[in-house]
Structure 1
Amino acid sequence: MSSPCRSADSPVLGSVDAPLVRVQGLLDRLGQVEDPRDPRGVRYGLATLLAIGVCALSASGHNSLTAIAEWVRRCEQRELSRLGCPFDPFTGRYRVPDERTLRDVYAKVDPADLTAVGYGYLTALARPGSASLTPDGVGEREQRRAHRAPAGDPTRRGAIAVDGKCLRGAKRRDGSQVFILSAVRHADAVTLAARQIPAKTNEISEFAPLLDQIADTDLTNTVVTADALHAQRAHAVYLVEQRHAHYLFTVKDNQPSLAAQLRALPCKQVPVLHRQSSRGHGRHEIREVQVVTVNDLLFPHARQAVRIRRRRRRPDTKTWATEIVYAITDLPTHEARPAEIATWAREHWTIENSVHWIRDVTFGEDASQIRTHNTPAVMAALRDIVRSTIRLAGWANTASARRAHTIPDAALTLHGIP
């Protein structure tokens, strides 16, 4: 099966009539990641080793370091040359890194630096005039899926979801599990920043450092959505006063005083300002949104309290399950319509459905027992690059795209490695 990207010195993307823009290839981008190794005795370039991981993970069935090493051993000499592997003049062949080399290097790479470089590459691919609308090799079935994918309701602001994920198979030497906190764009599920949470701490203390990693990205007027764990006063102050952004936080009983205030609001007297019904994933769901303007909540900059009532039932039953969720935002009524708030609240689950679930199910992340130093977070960053590139290339199904790139040449072409 052919690759969904065109072969070129670097990927040439764009529609037929639009001016074509050459995007710097992934191998060149990965050269910007800081190499933590002592330069003495280095045989393989860091960009080469990282590119091998990305291209191998793009092929179905290659989810572990062992599989990545097997993938590169099966590459032909021409493909090893494209990856930048060193040439051995004594054997007349290109050298192939083994699993131990990959393992040792990945353990030392800064995952935050790798994520930042990957974000720069993906941003260039997603830029207007650079993204391919119907790439070569994307089958008719995939194009129909992408066309049927529901588009988010139009909003006046971009939104970023912040959420943590436990790598269930990876454990540190002290037995503690590895957690990664990520910031993901609602619009295209591209990961902006990721941060491995140190032992003996939690997501709360890493919220601001995570967003500080994208300090060069202007968050002004951007809405940051987060679950109840991050409904913290310090987070609200940081977003509004330091980053000039906005927040939409879910509120639960981890903030008992605030939750009690929201439950005491006269919601029965407030009309439903937005209602949406949807069918999919084996259920029928109705969402109703009520919004109350507030000025005296015990939470910094809070301007609106939101009550979201979700009713769900399976097609084969008439019984409805009801869930009520409360949220708060600093945006006043004239700056955030109920429909917009409903969209941000619903699309916050992008990070679960389009990022965490795909990494768990399609890439087998939870089953991975990689645990050495930074390796779990580095592998997660590589998976994110693959996942986002496939999405931007026009594939609606990641597993199908990986099956289409089992041939090394197709994977290298997908990532713009000439």
Structure 2
Amino acid sequence: MPKKHFEVAAAADITLIVQVKDNQPTLHQQIQDICATTVPLTSADSHDTGRNRDERRRVTVFDPAGRLADTDWQDHVAAIIQVERTVFTRNSKTGLLHHSAEIAFYISNAPLTATRAAETIRAHWKVETTSHYSRDVTMGEDTSRIRTNPGIIARLRSFAFNILMANRVGTLPQDRYRAALAGLDNLLNLLAVPQN
């Protein structure tokens, strides 16, 4: 995660939230220490159930307040966000629960509340699970063996994905199947492109 992203976001007056992972061990450790020894500004809890999952999240926001003064990050970090997730997933075959827990750390270039941070981070995961998973599984991007001009095919997949999502009737695989049966004329109708 380069600091240049934060500089560009500051110049464009954009709020940026970025996850700090183990690939930046020094910053990651400093953020962990700040969260362990500092009183939080705000926190928010949420609880989601569905699809054999029971997930509880606690999002806590901390003010770095000069604790990053000896680093290059001092000018870029206005808030530190800690997300604690506890998930119970039920195995549909055995009925047994699997427990997992994790703590993730994020930094932001602007001060924000825990509620706003939780909404933003959750919205990012919605993009991850909706767009990326659908492209990988339903559209078969990861299994594609196209090696000549793969960017063209990727753009066509994006084009098709966006059309299907904008005209959603059922699930993405069902809509894709219906679109394949209907042919090019149906696609042009969805786009409202006049046919000659």
Residues 302-338 of structure 1 show CA distances to partners (whole Å, capped at 9, x for unaligned) of 1110110000012344553110000010111xxx221
CA distance in 2, matches of 1:319, 1:386: 37
CA distance in 2, matches of 1:317, 1:383: 38
Q: Tell me the SS of whatever aligns to 2:34.
A: coil
Residues 248-295 of structure 1 show CA distances to partners (whole Å, capped at 9, x for unaligned) of 010012222211111112447548711111112321111101111123
Change (3 A) 1:410 1:251: same
How does 1:14-413 map onto structure 2 within 5 Å?
Answer: 231-241=1-11, 243-267=12-36, 269-270=39-40, 273-296=43-66, 297=68, 298=71, 299=73, 300-315=75-90, 316-317=95-96, 320-332=99-111, 336-372=112-148, 375-395=149-169, 397-405=171-179, 406-408=181-183, 409-413=185-189
TM-score under structure 2 normalisation? 0.83
- Is contact 1:267–1:290 with CA below 8 Å preserved after alignment? no
Change (3 A) 1:246 1:403: same
Q: Tell me the SS of whatever aligns to 2:16.
A: strand
Unaligned runs of 5+ in 2: none
CA distance in 1, matches of 2:3, 2:177: 46
CA distance in 1, matches of 2:31, 2:45: 20
Q: Tell me the SS of whatever aligns to 1:250.
A: strand
Opposite residue 294 of structure 1, the aligned amino acid is P
Unaligned runs of 5+ in 1: 1-230
CA distance in 1, matches of 2:159, 2:33: 45
More helix by share: 2
CA distance in 1, matches of 2:96, 2:115: 29
Change (3 A) 1:266 1:370: closer
- Is contact 1:390–1:398 with CA below 8 Å preserved after alignment? yes
TM-score under structure 1 normalisation? 0.41
Change (3 A) 1:266 1:371: closer
Residues 114-164 of structure 1 show CA distances to partners (whole Å, capped at 9, x for unaligned) of xxxxxxxxxxxxxxxxxxxxxxxxxxxxxxxxxxxxxxxxxxxxxxxxxxx
Change (3 A) 1:319 1:403: closer
- Is contact 1:272–1:288 with CA below 8 Å preserved after alignment? no
Opposite residue 120 of structure 2, the aligned amino acid is W
User: What is the CA distance between 1:387 and its match in structure 2?
Assistant: 1.1
CA distance in 1, matches of 2:3, 2:126: 24
Residues 19-62 of structure 1 show CA distances to partners (whole Å, capped at 9, x for unaligned) of xxxxxxxxxxxxxxxxxxxxxxxxxxxxxxxxxxxxxxxxxxxx
- Is contact 2:76–2:109 with CA below 8 Å preserved after alignment? yes
Residues 152-201 of structure 1 show CA distances to partners (whole Å, capped at 9, x for unaligned) of xxxxxxxxxxxxxxxxxxxxxxxxxxxxxxxxxxxxxxxxxxxxxxxxxx
Change (3 A) 1:270 1:317: farther
Opposite residue 329 of structure 1, the aligned amino acid is S
- Is contact 2:35–2:82 with CA below 8 Å preserved after alignment? no
More off after superposition, 279-288 vs 314-323: 314-323
User: What is the CA distance between 1:353 and its match in structure 2?
Assistant: 1.4
Change (3 A) 1:387 1:411: same
CA distance in 1, matches of 2:110, 2:89: 35
Change (3 A) 1:417 1:319: closer
Q: Tell me the SS of whatever aligns to 2:145.
A: coil
CA distance in 2, matches of 1:319, 1:362: 27
